Amino acid sequence: MRHARYLPVLDWGRGYNRTILTNDLVAAAIVTIMLIPQSLAYAMLAGLPPEIGLYASILPIIAYALFGTSRTLAVGPVAVISLMTLTAASSVAAPGTAQFIAATLVLAFLSGVMLILMGVLRLGFLANLLSHPVVSGFITASGLIIATSQLKSILGVSASGKAMPELVSTLLANLASVNLPTLIIGVTSTAFLFWVRKGLKPLLVRLGLKARTADLTAKAGPIAAVAISTLAVVLLDLEAQGVRVVGQIPHSLPPFTVPLFDAELWQRLAIPALLLSVIGFVESVSVAQTLAAKKRQRINPDQELIGLGAANVAASFSGGYPVTGGFARSVVNFDAGAETPVAGAYTAVGIAIAALFLTPYLASLPIATLAATIIVAVLSLVDLQTPQHIWRYSKPDFAAMAATVLVTLLAGVEPGVIAGVGLSLALYLWRASRPHAAIVGRVPETEHFRNVKRHDVLTDPRILTIRIDESLTYLNARWLEEFVLEQVAEHSQLRHLILMCSAVNAIDASALESIEAINHRLADADASLHLSEVKGPVMDALERSHLLHNLTGKVWLSQNDAFSQIMEMMIRSDSPELHMDVYGPRGLI
């Protein structure tokens, strides 16, 4: 069934019943518990007060539920987008200032508007420019930067920087001022969370829980770390010993905010907002597609742009910051049995309740525990397998990935994405500009024509056949001219050149111009140009051009006809000229 364009809720809303309600409620409860510490942590990663993470997990979820097409995608703050927000906003204001918060609202708003526009104009294909190796390299490098940046909170020292060199050097410079209680909390939290990830589920299974229940219970591990470390701070009065804590958080629903309408600020944030939107979209769509496919459902990428755009606009008007579909929480939502986007709405209610009533208890939560949450989450983003596979499979793809990783680590997230996209595109265009082509000859006693370099074939010094294994476009039109004229210059007896077009799916205006130029230049050199095995749609287009009229040779249905009839003609007429009155350029078409 096709869903209603622009408002998918009209599609799945009709079938909503009590069973689905129960499933959605259970999933929402589990995701809410998981989201609370994560939202606080990611907001602090983005250089924002922790409550903003909660605000960004309320209205955006509802906006996505209304406009998005995935039934189980969970939208909210995520690690990489938080890092990109920090980088972008700190280029216009210092983290912690009111201007910084204003900049993150503008980022969310611009990003939302861009995503909606891309969706309405069906420009989702622009996300294709982010190749898989580039995205993979970018996520890995971002994960490393985020983990390194959180080490400061684990150690209780200060450090700053958008990329590795500055981060590492400030971290090392301040290493002497490490705070021991903070270090203990940080290291035990990290160890505990890693154990929760790997060891808790098997333990629970051994204790008799079902695999699925054990899995979902283990997801609540971070809440235990939060509770225990907060208790430790309160009971041992660790704040007095220099352990930094979250501090007083206002307990309220999300405030109504309006993004600043400041032309200069918009201009400075436009490119970062675009990069952030596209990265967020690519990540989110891949999660949504994976989950939808498991139930043979579909998502609509153009509508996903609108859903994510709406979520970001909602964030900008409710005191949030840029959001997207998160991998971990969506998988939990799916595994917990969420069936419709209403589960997201229940999660939003859960987080709203937390924002209203739970925040006073978070004042003594140590920042080191949140840092541990982030480190454990982002280290799972670091992927050391994919680079090896890509290295083995394709060197150009590996080059694009390596450039993305290096530039991201050394110069930051924005230059990293731009370098990756630029290099991928340059490599693609370079390859497209010099397609594979072969000089072919006839395999003896057959009608097949094969590459002269690989097979023993029949050729004639007066006839040259070039097979081109690619569509002819402006990217390779100049190559075509050069390649063909080079061959002509090397074959001094040439009278007939045949372009074998069996693999040519299209010929654009530039390539047509090049073929016409080749035709004229061959005429200047007293040789004729022929085409063979031209595909139907290509021939239809050529009929609308002047090429067929001016062609010195003709268009042949098959390469074998072309070769044998030209040979025969040269022998019979004892003249190198093709008799144009008999074999007119379109005679056999």
What is the contact surface with its own copies in residues (CB under 8 A)?
125, 127-133, 285, 289-290, 292-294, 296-298, 301, 389-390, 392-394, 396-398, 424, 428-430, 433-434, 436, 469-470, 473-479, 481-482, 485-486, 488-489, 492, 503, 505, 508-510, 512-514, 517, 521, 524-525, 541, 544-546
Quick one: 296 or 453, whose CB is closer to its own copies? 296
CB of 451 to its own copies, least distance (A): 12
CB of 468 to its own copies, least distance (A): 11
What tokens does 537 get?
Answer: 């749609």
Identify the CA nearest to 216 among candidates 190, 196, 232: 196
CB of 490 to its own copies, least distance (A): 9
CB of 284 to its own copies, least distance (A): 13
Gyration radius (Cα) of the chain, Å = 32
Q: Where are the alpha helices (DSSP H) in 14-130?
A: 18-45, 51-55, 59-67, 79-89, 98-120
Separation of CA 498 from chain center: 43
- C-alpha to C-alpha distance for 307 and 62, rounded to whole angstroms: 10
Quick one: 320 or 337, whose CB is closer to its own copies? 337
Quick one: 151 or 485, whose CB is closer to its own copies? 485
Quick one: 546 or 579, whose CB is closer to its own copies? 546
Quick one: 217 or 394, whose CB is closer to its own copies? 394
Quick one: 277 or 514, whose CB is closer to its own copies? 514
- C-alpha to C-alpha distance for 255 and 259, rounded to whole angstroms: 12
Q: Where are the alpha helices (DSSP H) in 69-131?
A: 79-89, 98-120
Quick one: 427 or 498, whose CB is closer to its own copies? 427
- Indicate the helix (H) or strand (E) that contains 555: strand 555-556
CB of 275 to its own copies, least distance (A): 17
CB of 194 to its own copies, least distance (A): 27
Is the backbone of residue 96 left (phi > 0), alpha (psi -120 to 50) or beta? Answer: left
Quick one: 97 or 505, whose CB is closer to its own copies? 505
CB of 70 to its own copies, least distance (A): 13
Separation of CA 316 from chain center: 23
CB of 273 to its own copies, least distance (A): 20
Quick one: 414 or 470, whose CB is closer to its own copies? 470
Strand order across the beta sheet in which 463-468 lies:
449-451, 437-442, 463-468, 496-500, 528-532, 555-556
- C-alpha to C-alpha distance for 186 and 370, rounded to whole angstroms: 9
Q: What is the DSSP string of 181-226?
A: HHHHHHHHHHHHHHHIIIIIHHHHHHTT--HHHHHHHHHTHHHHHH
Quick one: 251 or 431, whose CB is closer to its own copies? 431
Quick one: 452 or 488, whose CB is closer to its own copies? 488
Beta-bridge partner residues of 21: none
Q: What is the DSSP string of 491-550?
A: -TT--EEEEE-TT---B-HHHHHHHHHHHHHHHHTT-EEEEES--HHHHHHHHTSSHHHH
What tokens does 396 get?
Answer: 């150009």
Quick one: 188 or 545, whose CB is closer to its own copies? 545
Quick one: 51 or 470, whose CB is closer to its own copies? 470
What tokens does 560 get?
Answer: 């074998």
Identify the CA nearest to 31 among candidates 79, 80, 73, 83: 73
Dihedral angle of Cα 311, 317, 318, 324, to the nearest 10 degrees:
20
CB of 548 to its own copies, least distance (A): 12
Q: Which residues of 21-32 are buried (b: 16+ CB within 10 A; e: fewer)?
A: eebbebbbbbbb
Quick one: 268 or 389, whose CB is closer to its own copies? 389
Q: What is the DSSP letter of 354?
A: I
What tokens does 432 get?
Answer: 């497209």
Q: How far separated are the first and last CA of the chain, in Å rounded?
A: 45
CB of 430 to its own copies, least distance (A): 6
Beta-bridge partner residues of 450: 441
Q: List Cβ neighbours of 407 (8 Å cut-off, separation of 6 or more).
A: 415, 416, 419, 420
Half-sphere exposure of 428 (CA within 13 A, CB side): 11
CB of 492 to its own copies, least distance (A): 8
CB of 485 to its own copies, least distance (A): 6
Q: List Cβ neighbours of 574 (8 Å cut-off, separation of 6 or more).
A: none
- C-alpha to C-alpha distance for 24 and 22, rounded to whole angstroms: 5
Quick one: 351 or 500, whose CB is closer to its own copies? 500
CA angle 377, 381, 385 (to 5 degrees): 140
Beta-bridge partner residues of 245: 366
